[in-house]
């Protein structure tokens, strides 16, 4: 009978793995001298399937428990939301920042440039953000070109996810806003967090009833849910349906030179406790779209981070 091997708190009967030549993996004291042999005897440190689940469950549900009370929630991990998360997470490492992203794959529309072409155009001065991130680009004078949009998105994703105070919950949808009476302004209402569900659940409320959601409270919510779409422009549409916004402005036609400054300069607290940025703001304000240039997404995300800090410090 193989000796019981204790890994976590529960002793697990772990079958000792025997290499071809009968060499036992040394699991006695938790150190693993497992050779990396590509000559037919490649072996892994022996664990049980249950340890895989436990390693995930322990961390994910600890995260859910701990982030039920966050300092800032960012809805949407597209280029604007990620730029906000990066600037905010770096500038205020004391803040618990939680990103909620409906898709399995974060990044939103920033995996391609335009019309499925891969280079990403960024107008100056937003190239400075690329320099800060360490994203290489070709300088074309008034604008720069990143050779593949995924180079920007994968770089900012890795920078954001390496920040200890930033958590990303993808495949999770915000399906409502928490709204409380505004103690700072009696009689008014204030956004105080978000209502979330697994995205697959949020997409199936019509087929399965009573799948109640979860909540995450935060004094500031940054909404960067992009263009109107199945889940896009979420907060702008919710503000209308809850009576905090009279009507949607609805995004206007393409005019890059009007659109990009409008999104950056217009990024603001659109309702008490709710900052809106990125292309969602064009649906809220009725500003133009800019087409496949991403400088305004980066700069508006940074502006949103500064707005969030202003609110927290006010």
Enumerate the known binding-site residues for substrate.
Answer: 80, 101-102, 109, 174, 212, 227, 279, 289-291
Least gap, CB of 126 to ligand 48N (angstroms): 12
Helix (H, G, I), strand (E, B) or coil at 235: helix
Candidates 77-85, 122-130, 177-185, 204-212; binding stretch for ligand 48N (CB under 6 A):
77-85
193 touches ligand 48N (CB under 6 A): no
Residue 168's φ and ψ, nearest 5 degrees, are: -115, 125
- Angle at which helices 79-91 and 149-161 pack, to 10 degrees? 40
Contact at 8 Å (CB) between 218 and 192? yes
Helix (H, G, I), strand (E, B) or coil at 314: coil
Least gap, CB of 191 to ligand 48N (angstroms): 14
Least gap, CB of 260 to ligand 48N (angstroms): 9
Given CA atoms 229, 230, 236, 237 in this order, what sign does their dihedral have? positive
Candidates 58-66, 154-162, 203-211, 278-286; binding stretch for ligand 48N (CB under 6 A):
278-286
Question: For residues 192 and 15, what is the distance between their CA atoms, to the nearest angstrom?
Answer: 51
Output the CA angle 75-85-247, nearest 5 degrees. Answer: 35
Binding residues for ligand 48N restricted to 285-304, rule: CB under 6 A:
289-291, 294, 297
Q: Which residue in the set 174, 192, 239, 305 belongs to the binding site for ligand 48N (CB under 6 A)?
A: 174
Question: For residues 169 and 70, what is the distance between their CA atoms, to the nearest angstrom?
Answer: 13
Candidates 7-15, 185-193, 227-235, 241-249; binding stretch for ligand 48N (CB under 6 A):
227-235
Q: Which residue in the set 70, 79, 98, 155 belongs to the binding site for ligand 48N (CB under 6 A)?
A: 79
Element (H, E) at 237: helix 234-241
Least gap, CB of 250 to ligand 48N (angstroms): 14
Return the number of the residue (10 or 204) whose C-beta is nearest ligand 48N: 204
225 touches ligand 48N (CB under 6 A): yes
231 touches ligand 48N (CB under 6 A): yes
Q: Which residue in the set 130, 168, 191, 224 belongs to the binding site for ligand 48N (CB under 6 A)?
A: 224
Helix (H, G, I), strand (E, B) or coil at 155: helix
Closest CA to 172 of 102, 223, 232: 102
């Amino acid at each position: 009978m193989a000796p019981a091997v204790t890994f976590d708190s529960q002793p697990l009967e772990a079958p000792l793995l025997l290499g071809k030549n009968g060499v036992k993996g040394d699991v006695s004291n938790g150190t693993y001298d497992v050779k990396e042999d590509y000559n037919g005897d490649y072996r892994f440190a022996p664990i049980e399937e249950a340890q895989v689940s436990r390693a995930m469950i322990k961390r994910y549900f600890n995260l859910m428990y701990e982030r039920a009370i966050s300092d800032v929630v960012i809805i949407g991990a597209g280029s604007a939301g990620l730029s906000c998360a990066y600037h905010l997470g770096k500038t205020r490492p004391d803040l618990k920042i939680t990103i909620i992203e409906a898709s399995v794959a974060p990044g939103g529309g920033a995996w391609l440039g335009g019309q499925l072409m891969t280079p990403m155009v960024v107008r100056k001065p937003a190239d400075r953000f690329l320099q800060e991130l360490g994203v290489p680009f070709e300088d074309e004078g008034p604008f720069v070109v990143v050779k593949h949009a995924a180079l920007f998105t994968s770089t900012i994703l890795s920078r954001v996810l390496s920040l200890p105070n930033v958590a990303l919950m993808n495949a999770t949808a915000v399906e409502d806003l928490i709204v409380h009476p505004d103690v700072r302004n009696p009689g008014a209402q204030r956004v105080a967090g978000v209502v979330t569900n697994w995205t697959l659940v949020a997409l199936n409320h019509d087929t399965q009833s009573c799948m109640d959601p979860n909540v995450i409270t935060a004094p500031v919510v940054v909404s960067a849910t992009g263009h109107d779409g199945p889940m896009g422009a979420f907060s702008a549409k919710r503000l209308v349906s809850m009576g905090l916004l009279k009507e949607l402005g609805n995004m206007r036609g393409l005019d890059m030179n009007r659109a990009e400054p409008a999104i950056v300069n217009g990024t603001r607290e659109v309702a008490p406790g709710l900052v809106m940025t990125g292309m969602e703001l064009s649906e809220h304000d009725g500003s133009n779209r800019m087409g496949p240039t991403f400088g305004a997404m980066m700069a508006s995300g940074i502006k949103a981070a500064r707005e969030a800090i202003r609110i927290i410090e006010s």
